[in-house]
Structure 1
Amino acid sequence: MSDVRITHIGGPTVLIEAEGWTLLTDPTFDPPGRRYAFGWGTSSRKVAGPALRPGDLPHVDAVLLTHDHHGDNLDDAGRTVAAAAGTLATTPSGARRLGAHARALRPWQTTRLSAPGRPDIEITATPARHGPPLSGPFVGQVTGFALTWEGQRHGALWISGDTVLFGGVREVARRFTVGTALLHLGGVRFPLTGPVRYTMTARQALRLCAEMRPHTAFPVHYEGWRHFAEGRPGIERALAAAPSETRDRIRWLPLGAPHDHEA
């Protein structure tokens, strides 16, 4: 049986400690108040800071970066954290921008973390689409990650990345038994593009959980920014209306407090 410690730092930033490994997703550590441009006339203001500072972190063995080109997934302070990590896994375009330190992963490609005295962790890039059909050239490459290691009881630990619900995400459920899912929610939208969503809503996440049937799913990426259109209250309203078999799979992570979880 394998246990994992998960600490939600804020937004998409999560510290994962498993089998002696320390991994960090999408490092964002800038203070609140600044407005960030996301391209094509869109922007957003950060309204809440991280629950932990970079100096509070243990040594980070690997950063799992879903994409590098949006400030709510990698900011200035986060770049310093990512540069100091032993490994950085991200998209091919992100790896080109970030340099030789980064490992480029296309969808379904894998890389491995190996060290004496610790079990290997296999990292598989999973498809993500950060917007509606045909939006890829405008929003850029994004990836999710599936983590597997010997001794997992319930299945892979999956990080969705910033994505809407589409066939590539559903394919994850066909290729992996997912034990733990970190779901990037928030139903992101911008005034410039009207009702178009760029990440999953709670209703989409519930549909996905009904198909994927993870043992536990944790919402992240739903607070701290103006462009997160659906925060925790909206997510909870959707959960209240969902069938209990699906609703009971969703759990909340306390910000800044380690959560010990059976993986």
Structure 2
Amino acid sequence: MAGLLNRAGADRTGEPAPPDFRHRLDSHLLGPLGALQLWWSFPRDEVARRDAVTVPVAADAPLPEPVAGTLGITWLGHASTLLYVDGVTVLVDPVLSPGIPGAARRLTPPGRTVEELPPVDAVLLSHDHYDHLDVRTLARLPRSTRMLAGLNTGPFLRARGFTDVTELDWWSSVTLSGRTGPVSVEFVPARHWSRRTATDTCRRLWGGWVVTGSDGRAIYHAGDTAYGPFLSRIAARHRRLEIAALPVGAYRPRALLRSVHMDPTEAVRAAGTLRARRMVPVHWGTFVLSGEPVLEPLEQTRREWRRTGRDRADLWDLPIGGSRVVTP
């Protein structure tokens, strides 16, 4: 593509070129053979569903009240979470439908249905992969819902009727009104990629989110990412990360997935790099997307947390539907 563009970013016909974020890539994308190898690595459906019975689910657990000075998180399954910062409630990567393209039906129920969600001040979308951007879930949200996403995701959302859409580049932010002052929502880099069809690879920018209250305390949601040097920069910009929601699943075969997904060891390392006080393991126990057994991500995260000497109380290994809060 780059060889076909002139300096003004137009193609040879003079028409504006479609956005392309391949220059942001720090990952090796799977070709057809790699995708086939990944698919063959999946555990058998009956084995995955047998193991998923023991994934903790607390769908009836009460949700925190979004009160002044409080930070909190609810894990809804996979990467879907509710974040609470100083009275502001945001919903990240909501995938609450029975299944997604490219995977079997979900192994475990969502922590809440769309109808059971509390009022949200914004929806944050990390990237366009089906396990993070689910049109069936979005279709059940009010079209006036404020939507925040990476560059060039706006046309996709507006085509589905959403009227309040903001696109962000890495390190850019918007401000929401908290109970005691402004709450900043910043889009930060991730080592990943984007695609929904065969023709839109890396057309929409991917990333993670840092939500910061007026007192400087923050929650980081990584979206979907491999380990990378950008984590140190996030730590330098946000020195009071109280909670980090980090992906711990979808990492086998390691040779295929190392450049796009963390494994549990890297996720615990990332929590240290970020200087995050607490870690919430996400991106596991919901869909079969890779070759590891269903429970292995949580089990290995617990072992690595213990091995590194971190306080067990600071590993918030929530059940699906479970919540934790940090009070002032």
**TM-score band, normalised by the shorter chain?**
0.7 to 0.9
Runs of 4 or more, structure 1, over 6 Å off, are: none
Paired-residue identity, %: 24
Could you tell me how far 1:188 is from its partner in structure 2?
A: 3.6
2:309 aligns with: 244
Which residue, out of 23, 31, 42, partners 2:90? Answer: 23
Q: Does 1:77 align with 2:127?
A: no
* Aligned match of 1:40: none
Shift of 1:145: 0.9
Give the TM-score normalised by structure 2.
0.66
Please identify the structure whose Cα radius of gyration is greater: 2
Alignment gaps of 5+ in structure 2: 1-67, 194-199
Q: Distance in 1 between matches of 2:311 and 2:252?
A: 26
Number of the residue aligned with 2:208:
144
Q: Structure 2: how far apart are the matches of 1:234 and 1:44?
A: 24
The whole-number CA distance in structure 1 between the counterparts of 2:100 and 2:208 is 25
Aligned residues: CA RMSD: 2.9
Change (3 A) 1:97 1:217: same
The answer (yes or no) to whether the contact 2:84–2:90 under 8 Å persists in 1 is: yes
Residue 120 of structure 2: aligned partner: 60
Helix, strand or coil at the partner of 1:2? coil
**SS at 1:93 equivalent:** coil
What is the CA deviation profile of residues 69-122 of structure 1, one whole-angstrom value per residue up to 9, with x for unaligned ones? 22211223321255546311111122232125321011001111137x663211
Q: Alpha carbons of 1:82 and 1:123: their partners in 2 closer, same or farther (altered >3 Å)?
A: farther
Alpha-carbon distance in 1 for matches of 2:100, 2:138: 17
When normalised by structure 1's length, the TM-score is 0.81
Deviation at 1:25, TM superposition (A): 0.6
How far is 1:261 from its partner?
Answer: 2.4
Contact 2:264 2:297 in 1 (8 A): no
Distance in 2, Cα, partners of 1:219 & 1:207 = 13
Choose which of 173, 184, 205 in structure 1 pairs with 2:267.
Answer: 205
Aligned residues of 1:209 and 1:246 also touching (Cα < 8 A): no
* Structure 1 Cα separation of the partners of residues 251 and 104 of structure 2: 10
In structure 2, what residue type is equivalent to 1:147?
Answer: V
Contact 1:206 1:246 in 2 (8 A): no
SS at match of 2:188: strand
Distance 2:305 2:326 in 1: 21
Where does structure 1 lack aligned partners over 5 or more consecutive residues? 38-42
Specify whether residues 84 and 258 from structure 1 end up closer, same or farther in structure 2 by C-alpha distance, changes over 3 A only: farther
Greater percentage in strand: 1
Deviations 1:147-182 (A, max 9, x none): 112135xx3211111010112233111211122111
Letter in 1 for 2:73: I
Q: 1:90-239 maps to which residues of 2 (within 5 A)?
A: 90-99=149-158, 101-114=164-177, 119-130=181-192, 137=201, 141-152=205-216, 155-177=217-239, 178-189=241-252, 194=256, 196=258, 198-228=260-290, 229=292, 230-239=296-305
- Kindly provide the amino acid, as one letter, of the partner of residue 185 in structure 1: V
Structure 1 residue 247, shift from structure 2 partner: 6.3
Q: Separation in 2 of the partners of 1:94 and 1:36?
A: 19
Cα distance, 1:214 vs structure 2: 1.1
Contact residue 63 and residue 82 of structure 1 kept, 8 A:
no
CA shift at 1:5, angstroms?
3.3
What is the alpha-carbon distance in structure 2 between the residues aligned to residue 79 and residue 118 of structure 1? 30
